[in-house]
Amino acid sequence: MPRLLVRRPSPRLAEGELTHIERVPVDADLAREQWERYVDVYRARGWDVIDIAAADEHADGVFVEDTVVMFGDIAVVTRPGADSRRGEIDTVREALEDAGIPSVQIAQPGTLDGGDVLKVGRTVYVGRTLRTNDDGIEQLRAHLAPRGWEVVAVPVTKVLHLKSGVTALPDGTIIGYEPLVDDPGVYPSFLGVPEEHGTAVVVLDDATVLMSSDAPETAQLFRDRGLEVITTPISEFEKLEGCVTCLSVRVRA
């Protein structure tokens, strides 16, 4: 049974870090409702949900993907690029230990946000951003090369994280909203999407993706390609440069 690591949103969510967009009001109650609907999508499909201990003092704690990335049966615990997020790591590590998931760690001076990591087959694209530095990328490469993964660093300057700009469909096609992608030519197969919030999908299985409900034209584009598309509202998280990928960590091994 696949497992899902999540953490409930903090009441301080509206104070989260912002880099590329202007701050607008965030409704914490609506965010909690949207988060519960997001998690229910997985529960309805048989996923086992693992709740990481609440960290209400950390406004960005709900974005758990930034703190840990799964590679098969091993987790890489990151070292977030924002100082305000480093305190999230301890409870994430505890959750991994309780779930029996082995892990390795990105160490100082490296920084790595999980939102900068996109896996396609055995290739790992990693964004060079304000949150992920070259040392962090090299540490990740050292952890993964012996396990048969190839790490490819790519430039990211227009959005917070790599996966704020691109993700991948089940067949490996990279998707993105071209005005927010530094260099689409980096990817062997790239498909432009018509809406900014259509850039992010979570692959639930070989024929199904989960995405924001705020990109109906993109959802139809994917359906026309033969995919089942499940949509869910995440407006309060999108106001904080979040998307469907960063609200959970999927453990498939």
Domain parsing of the chain, residue ranges: 3-13+20-251
Structure tokens at 220: 């139809």
Mean pLDDT across the stretch 42-52?
97
Label the pairing between strands 123-128 and 150-155: parallel
Residue 57, pLDDT above cutoff 90: yes
What pLDDT band is residue 226 in, cutting at 50, 70 and 90? very high
Residue 60, pLDDT above cutoff 70: yes
Looking at residue 253, its pLDDT comes to 65
Any idea what DSSP says for residue 172? S
What pLDDT band is residue 18 in, cutting at 50, 70 and 90? confident
Is 143 one of the annotated active-site residues of the chain? no
Of 114, 121, 127, 181, which is closest to residue 150 (Cα–Cα)?
Answer: 121
Rounded CA separation 18/34 (Å): 20
Rounded CA separation 54/97 (Å): 16
Residue 21, pLDDT above cutoff 80: no
Looking at residue 123, its pLDDT comes to 98
Label the pairing between strands 48-51 and 3-6: parallel
Mean pLDDT across the stretch 44-58?
96
Catalytic: which of 58, 197, 243, 246?
A: 246
**Sign of the C-alpha dihedral, residues 151, 157, 158, 164?**
positive
Structure tokens at 217: 């034209």
Instruction: List, for residues 111-120, the tens digit of each pLDDT value.
Output: 999 999 999 9
Residue 27, pLDDT above cutoff 80: yes
Rounded CA separation 176/170 (Å): 14
Average pLDDT, the chain: 96
Amino acid at 79: R
Catalytic: which of 58, 161, 197, 243?
A: 161
Rounded CA separation 80/99 (Å): 22
Supply the pTM of this predicted model: 0.96
Fold entry, domain 3-13+20-251: L-arginine/glycine Amidinotransferase; Chain A (3.75.10)
- Report the percent of the chain where pLDDT is more than 90: 94
Across 22-36, 109-123, 125-139, least confident range: 22-36
1: Cα separation from own chain's centroid:
21
Rounded CA separation 80/77 (Å): 9
Looking at residue 24, its pLDDT comes to 85
Mean pLDDT across the stretch 18-46?
92
Residue 30, pLDDT above cutoff 80: yes
Mean pLDDT across the stretch 104-116?
98
More confidently predicted of 15 and 127? 127
Is 246 one of the annotated active-site residues of the chain? yes
What pLDDT band is residue 94 in, cutting at 50, 70 and 90? very high
Q: Residue 115: CA atoms inside 13 Å, Cβ hemisphere, count?
A: 26
Looking at residue 209, its pLDDT comes to 98
DSSP string computed for 156-168 = --SSSSHHHHEEE
What pLDDT band is residue 20 in, cutting at 50, 70 and 90? confident
The CA distances from residue 172 to 44, 77, 175, 190, in Å, are: 25, 25, 9, 9
Burial class (CB in 10 A: 0-12, 13-18, 19+), 55: buried
What pLDDT band is residue 23 in, cutting at 50, 70 and 90? confident
Mean pLDDT across the stretch 16-27?
84
